[in-house]
Structure 1
Amino acid sequence: MESVIKNKKQAFWSPLQRPQFRRLFVGQLLSDLANWLDFVALGTLIVYGWGQGSLALAALSVSMGLPWVIVGPLLSARCSRFSGRRILILCDILRAFLLLGLIWSESLAILLLFVFLKMSVSSVFDPIRQLAVKNLTEPDQWAQSSSLSQLSVNLMKIVGPMVGGGLLALWGDRSPFLIGACCYAVSALVLFGLREWSVPSETKEEGNSKSVMREAWRHVTQRPELKAGIIYSTLLFFLVFVYDGLFVMVAKEAGMDKSQFGLIIGSVGIGSVLGALAAGQWNGWQQHPLSRMTWSGMVTGVLVGVVGIGALGWFPNEIGFWVIICILLGACGAYSLVPFGYLLQKETTDKTIVPVSALSNALQTGSMLIAPILGAFAAEWIRAGGVFLIVGCLTSLIAGMYRLRVQRTLEKERILVSSTDECL
């Protein structure tokens, strides 16, 4: 309880008072900007430039997700033994070169290969960044650090599409790749000034990535709240990726052009920034983060369903309507992700944060690899709007059931773990 009270006294921006975290945060801002420039450019190139449909978008989603399952858990466990600072810098440099390769991609297959390689590097960058946050801030600032991290991602959802849309109009479909590569390069220069942080000796001596991941899973199973949060987020991420790649199809079905599609994605980003700011400023959820995650999930499901209804033509397709709904959708999503990031920091140690983060990413992404394919085939049958409507209903239903039933199980497991610890 004392730590919770102490956390409440911390201002939202307090971690930025630490020069090392401030440098890490600036590097993440630049990387996230490159990520969102890439996102818009890939979607518009495939749909508007090459005239591809939902199946091509599903292939893109799989290429983006597969590395987090088969590459991230193995490489991140090994990389955690080396200089975290150098790994972060190397990841940015590699992603810069891979984005330059996308400029000369003339076929879907080549484009998907470069996307796969870039996301493989990103699957290593993220767990190492989590370790950096843990070592460059104090425990009473982890909630604020998680909020700032989400703020970076969500802020770039606004800036990225806006800048990307402008670049598309001025310099063509490939220009966002060039600017994104420059952002990764500048991020590497910023991260060059980070100090080295200590790596647990047990991690350095560990040579088998599989045993590291087994230890990570054992760690998760011994912490009921962490396990429940990972399983819940895995289910929700699956549902998100059923419809996420179809946003551009919804925009096209509603008669929007490329600039309006960028505005819709930017509106989600505006809401996400507001949600991250709210979660960082009013952090009473720290006592029960999973409860707040499920509450946000129920509201998110309702909003996704409303998007589906609008795309099917049951609501007037006014741009103002889409902007308001997407702002609310982004706010609820961010308000759910911040508690999960805090849960990862709170329930892990320096030794386990990297493998547990990689394991969480692998489970979330692995569960949703099939999701884009299901969404694509469903969109061919019931249109993209129908997919949004069905997924929205399922999201609210699962979040509600999880809130009612899993929370009770969690309390029982807490009691069991406590009694076991006392016996030991």
Structure 2
Amino acid sequence: MTNTMQKHAPLWRPLEEKGYRRLFAGQLLSDFGNWLDFIALSALIVYAWGHGSMALAALSICIGLPYVVVGPFMSVRTQRMPGKTIMIVCDLLRAGTAVGLAFAPSLPVLLALVLVKYSVSATFDPLRQGAVKRLVAPATLAQASSLSQMAANLTKIVGPAAGGALLSGLGTTAPFFASAAMYALSAIMLAAIPAWSGAASEEKKEKASLRAAWRHMLGRPTLRGAILFASSMFFLVFLYDGLFPLLTKEAGMDESRLGLLVGAVGAGSVVGALVAGQWSGWQRRPLAYMAGASLASGTLIVSVGLAAAEIIDVPLAVWLLAFAGLGFTGAQSAVPFGYVLQSETDEATVGPVSALAGALQTSSMLVAPVIGAALAGWLGIGGVLIAIGAVTVVAAGGYRFVGAAAGRTSGKSAKAAAESASS
């Protein structure tokens, strides 16, 4: 009876917990602020200031570097501090830097402020993972992972559209002020979640160290496999992700079309997260499911590359469908990854392990955007997408049909452990 109830637990079950509802609302607000910033930054650099692919690569590096350098270190330090208070302070600091971005006079100043802003975000994210662990029952971790992805990706629909409207109607500074307001509202919402203290016992302090988190990751085959596979896919994504503003510009699309395409990715992501949250069959083999989703994503990337290279001619509607498909397949991989991250850790290790995972994934942002920009100058943007899509297909297909078999047993064990903890 218990297993049946868990398999068919509704997607919204975690929201029955008051504390998680407030955390979810705070995430929704801050993610909305992130996407307002994203569109404004891209438009400012490419359209207003006229910079090219290397400037976009520098932006990607400034976004990713804090998750590699700051995130793991702060995930250990904040384990011993009042987590709720630190999360609120982080939101307020992000609001302040968003206001600063509105007055940035040049690219170097803008990049410096972006570096500060995402250093704060790298501190915030592991704490949020720990808060989820404390506020959600083990039996509904998959649903919580799906809701988290929906919050992150729903804002890809509203955020780009709102950012584009603010840019057109009120100028380039308006999205930054709106972003600051979202962070401030998020801080107010987080003030209502239950407080928790840092690690008290020596045992908990030891488990919260980066060394212990690394050992924990290496000792869990499912967790290790999910993190390594996700990291390799992130590297491939970051090779081309920063090139999309240039792709739309070369295709004769303006900022509003860029917003539409990013919004289509968000729409597909929301649907993908909803599907993954409603159907729990992937919990038996989460790694194989992640690989299958990446296999489909690689195929779509090749198709977008063919259109970008003008090998095939497609209307805007097909562009939107392709980008929505990229969002759908991305969420189909991200939800199982979030579930594995939560189900394979405890309260002491979830923050450091998630920070290590973030560091491994976003470390590719230090080199991949530069490589992607260089390849774009050599192969063209269409050629880069075709090549990366082909590599993604080969890598994901090989992992699905060879490597994922090794994780079947451990995946079942992780699910059994979660069910046992909840009974």
Q: TM-score of the superposition, structure 1-length normalised?
A: 0.94
203 and 15 in structure 1: CA distance in 2 versus 1, 3 angstrom threshold: farther
Letter in 2 for 1:350: E
1:98 counterpart residue number: 97
Report the Cα offset of residue 83 of structure 1: 1.1
2:151 counterpart residue number: 152
Quick check: 312-321 or 324-333, which moved more?
Answer: 312-321
Structure 1 gaps, min length 5 = 416-424
1:85-140 Cα deviation digits (max 9, x unpaired): 11110110000000111011111110000001100011111110010001011001
1:369-396 Cα deviation digits (max 9, x unpaired): 2100000111111111111111111111
CA contact (8 A) 1:3 1:140 kept: no
CA contact (8 A) 1:4 1:287 kept: no
Report the Cα offset of residue 204 of structure 1: 8.7
1:384 counterpart residue number: 381
Q: Please give the residue correspondences for 1:145-184 in structure 2 after superposition, counting only pairs within 5 Å.
A: 145-184=144-183
Q: Kindly report the root-mean-square deviation, in angstroms, between the aligned alpha carbons of the 2 structures.
A: 1.9
Q: Please give the residue correspondences for 1:368-407 in structure 2 after superposition, counting only pairs within 5 Å.
A: 368-407=365-404
CA contact (8 A) 1:27 1:191 kept: yes
1:343 counterpart residue number: 340
2:417 counterpart residue number: none
317 and 411 in structure 1: CA distance in 2 versus 1, 3 angstrom threshold: closer
Partner SS, residue 256 of structure 1: coil
Report the Cα offset of residue 409 of structure 1: 4.0
CA contact (8 A) 1:239 1:368 kept: no
411 and 267 in structure 1: CA distance in 2 versus 1, 3 angstrom threshold: closer
- Indicate whether 1:47 and 2:82 are aligned: no
- Distance in 1 (CA, whole Å) between partners of 2:377 and 2:201 is 51
Report the Cα offset of residue 295 of structure 1: 0.3
CA contact (8 A) 1:77 1:212 kept: yes
Q: Please give the residue correspondences for 1:61-72 in structure 2 after superposition, counting only pairs within 5 Å.
A: 61-72=60-71
- Distance in 2 (CA, whole Å) between partners of 1:394 and 1:3 is 42
Name the count of aligned residue pairs.
413
1:298-322 Cα deviation digits (max 9, x unpaired): 0000001111111111222411110
- Indicate whether 1:117 and 2:116 are aligned: yes
Partner SS, residue 180 of structure 1: helix
Report the Cα offset of residue 201 of structure 1: 2.8
- Distance in 2 (CA, whole Å) between partners of 1:109 and 1:398 is 37
Report the Cα offset of residue 408 of structure 1: 3.8
Percent identical residues: 48
Q: Please give the residue correspondences for 1:3-402 in structure 2 after superposition, counting only pairs within 5 Å.
A: 5-197=4-196, 199-202=198-201, 206=205, 212-402=209-399
Partner SS, residue 227 of structure 2: helix
Structure 2 gaps, min length 5 = 413-423
CA contact (8 A) 1:199 1:351 kept: no
- Distance in 2 (CA, whole Å) between partners of 1:137 and 1:414 is 20
- Distance in 1 (CA, whole Å) between partners of 2:265 and 2:182 is 22
Letter in 2 for 1:132: A
1:185-207 Cα deviation digits (max 9, x unpaired): 01001111111135443479738
Letter in 2 for 1:349: D
- Distance in 2 (CA, whole Å) between partners of 1:63 and 1:309 is 30
Report the Cα offset of residue 6 of structure 1: 3.6
- Distance in 2 (CA, whole Å) between partners of 1:305 and 1:228 is 26
- Distance in 1 (CA, whole Å) between partners of 2:56 and 2:384 is 15
Q: Structure 1: which 4+ aligned runs deviate by more than 2 Å?
A: 2-7, 197-207, 407-415
- Distance in 2 (CA, whole Å) between partners of 1:394 and 1:225 is 23
Report the Cα offset of residue 81 of structure 1: 1.3
- Distance in 1 (CA, whole Å) between partners of 2:375 and 2:345 is 39
203 and 21 in structure 1: CA distance in 2 versus 1, 3 angstrom threshold: farther
Partner SS, residue 209 of structure 2: helix
Letter in 1 for 2:269: S
Letter in 1 for 2:28: L
CA contact (8 A) 1:102 1:114 kept: yes
298 and 4 in structure 1: CA distance in 2 versus 1, 3 angstrom threshold: farther
Letter in 1 for 2:378: W
Partner SS, residue 234 of structure 1: helix
CA contact (8 A) 1:98 1:118 kept: yes
CA contact (8 A) 1:311 1:317 kept: no
Report the Cα offset of residue 367 of structure 1: 3.0
Partner SS, residue 193 of structure 1: coil
192 and 299 in structure 1: CA distance in 2 versus 1, 3 angstrom threshold: same
CA contact (8 A) 2:286 2:411 kept: no
Letter in 2 for 1:286: Q
- Distance in 1 (CA, whole Å) between partners of 2:238 and 2:9 is 35
- Distance in 2 (CA, whole Å) between partners of 1:368 and 1:238 is 7
- Distance in 2 (CA, whole Å) between partners of 1:34 and 1:316 is 35
CA contact (8 A) 1:273 1:331 kept: yes
2:420 counterpart residue number: none
